[in-house]
Chain A
Amino acid sequence: MTWVSVCKLDDIEQEGAIRFDHGSRTYAIYRGPDDSVYCTAGLCTHEAIHLADGLVMDFEVECPKHSGAFDYRTGEALRLPACENLKTYPAEVFDGEIRVALG
C-alpha cells in the first residue's frame, strides 16, 4: 500500500472535509467528530459535484447541490437522489499528518 500525504490533521476542522486532488482524480478527506479520518471519491455519485463543499454532520456528508447524503466512513448512499455508494480509500493519521492510500 502506497501512502500519499494530504495535510495536517488540524488543517481540517472537526466534522469537516476538504477537497484533495491527486493525479488526475479528486477525493474528499474527512475529519470526523472524534478526530478519525476518512477518504472517499470526491464527486457525488448522482452528479459531478464536489462533496467537500457539502455540510458534514456527524459521519454524514451532504451534497451541496441536491442534498443526497453519504456515510463517509463506508461510502454508503443514505439519501436520494444519491443511490450509488461512494468509493472509499484507507486513511489514517501518522505523526500529525493525514495520509491516504489511493492505490
Chain B
Amino acid sequence: MDGIVIIGAGECGTRAAFALREAGYSGAVTLVGAEPHLPYERPPLSKPMNGAVEMKLICAKEALEAAAINYLQGSSASKLDADAGTVTLSDGRVLSYEKLLLATGARPRRLACPGAERALEFRTHAQAEAIFARVGAAQAVAIIGGGLIGMEVASVLREKDVDVSVIEAAQKPLGRAVPQRFADRLHARHVAEGVHFHLDRGVVAIDNDGVILADGSTVPADLVVSAIGVLPEIDLAEAAGLATGDGILTDTFLRTSAPEIFAAGDCAAVAQPGGGHARFESWRNARTQAGTAARNMAGAAEVFNAIPWFWSDQYDLGLQVVGLPQPWHQSVVRSIGDGELEFYLDDGRLVAAAGLGIGNSVAKDIKLSEMLIAAGVRPGSEALADPDMNLKALLKSTRAA
C-alpha cells in the first residue's frame, strides 16, 4: 500500500486524515487507531452525564467512508522502518507509506510505588468508565496529582458529593500550567467545596486503606485515581532512530528527523522560534498541528505558529489561557463582572492572557486577546486594566493603523 499512513486516531490523527482531503490529497489515507472504537473526543470523558461517560465520536463511520479514509480500528504500530518506509502493525500486517504522520499522543505517567497498580488512570474512555462506575460505591476517593486533570476530576466528584482528597507533591496545585493568580483562586474554590488537600507530600505506597504519604500518614480512600501527568508516546519513533527528547522532535514544519515522517499533537516537540522545542497537551493544539502537518504532507510548506490555548472547567468556573504566561512577564489585571482577566506583557508587547469566570464568560475576551497577541500590539497597561476599554475596539484601531 502507498499513500499516507497516520499512526494514532485521537483528535490529532483523525483531524489530519480529514485535513489531507480538505487539502486536496487524493492518494490513499490509512488511519491506525489502537482503541476498539471509532475516533472519539476526550474532553467529555471527565464530564459524565447521570453517571454515564459519553462516547462523543469525532466523526461518524459514514464520514470516514465518504472521505475514503481507511480506518484500522484496534490496531497499533509495533515497528517503524524509516529507511524502508514501512510500518508493521500489531497483527503482523506491513504497510508501506509515501509519508507517515506520528500522532501517537501521550500516556499517563505511571506511579512507581508499592500498590501503584491499585490506582486507576484517566486517559481513555474505558478508563473513565472504570473510574465513574466505581465512584457510586466509593466512600472516599483520593486523587494523586493536583494538575488540570486531577482538579477537574475532583470538581466532578465533589458535585456528586463524594469525599475527595487531592495529593500533590508540589507546594501548590495547578503550578505547572495555570498562572499563579488563577491557580490560587481555583485552589481556594476546591477548599471551599470541601476537597482535602495534602500538598508537598510524596506518595510512599497504596494499600487497602488508602494512600500512604511520605510523612507516614494515610489518606483513607477506597478508590485511588492517579493523575500525575502524561508522557509522550515516543517508543515507536525512538526505536526507529528518530530524534526524540520530551516528545518526537520536529522542525517548524512538523517534520521529524526522518524524511517523509511528520509528528503532531501530544507526542510532538516542535522547534520554537526562540530556540528549543515545545510540546503542548491540548485539544486545540492537537487539531491545529494536525491541520499544518496534513497540508505539509500534501505539499505545502507551512510553518506551525499557532498561539497555544486551552480551557479547563471546574465547578461552574471556566478558565481559559492563551499564550504562555511566565513569572517574569509584567502582569495587568482587569475585573470583568464575576470574573477576572490577567494580561501578560513582555517588554511592552502583549504575549499571553488568562481569564477565570463563570461558565464561558471570559471566552470572548480571551479570543480577542489571542488576536491582539497575533497582531503584536503594545497596549498600555492602563488600557488593559480598564474594563471600559473594549478589546474589540483596541483590535480594530490596531488593524486600522
Contact = CB atoms under 8 A, between A and B. Distances in A.
B361 interface: yes
A55 B368 contact: yes
Nearest to B63: A83
Interface string A26-54: 00000000000000000000010110011
Contacts of B283: 66
Majority-rule SS of A interface residues = loop
B363 A55 contact: yes
A38 B361 CA distance: 21
A76 B299 CA distance: 30
A53 B283 CA distance: 20
B218 interface: no
Interface residues of B, number: 14
A5 interface: no
B360 A50 contact: yes
Majority-rule SS of B interface residues = helix
Contacts of B349: none
A55 B367 contact: yes
Interface in B311-336: 311
Contact of B363 (A15, A47, A65, A81): A65
Contacts of A57: 392
B392 A53 contact: no
A49 B86 CA distance: 43
**Top 8 closest pairs, chain A to chain B, by CB:** A64-B363, A64-B360, A53-B360, A55-B367, A55-B364, A53-B363, A54-B363, A53-B361
Interface of A: 15, 47, 49-50, 53-55, 57, 62, 64-67, 81
9 contacts: A50-B359, A53-B360, A54-B364, A54-B367, A55-B368, A57-B392, A62-B367, A66-B283, A67-B284
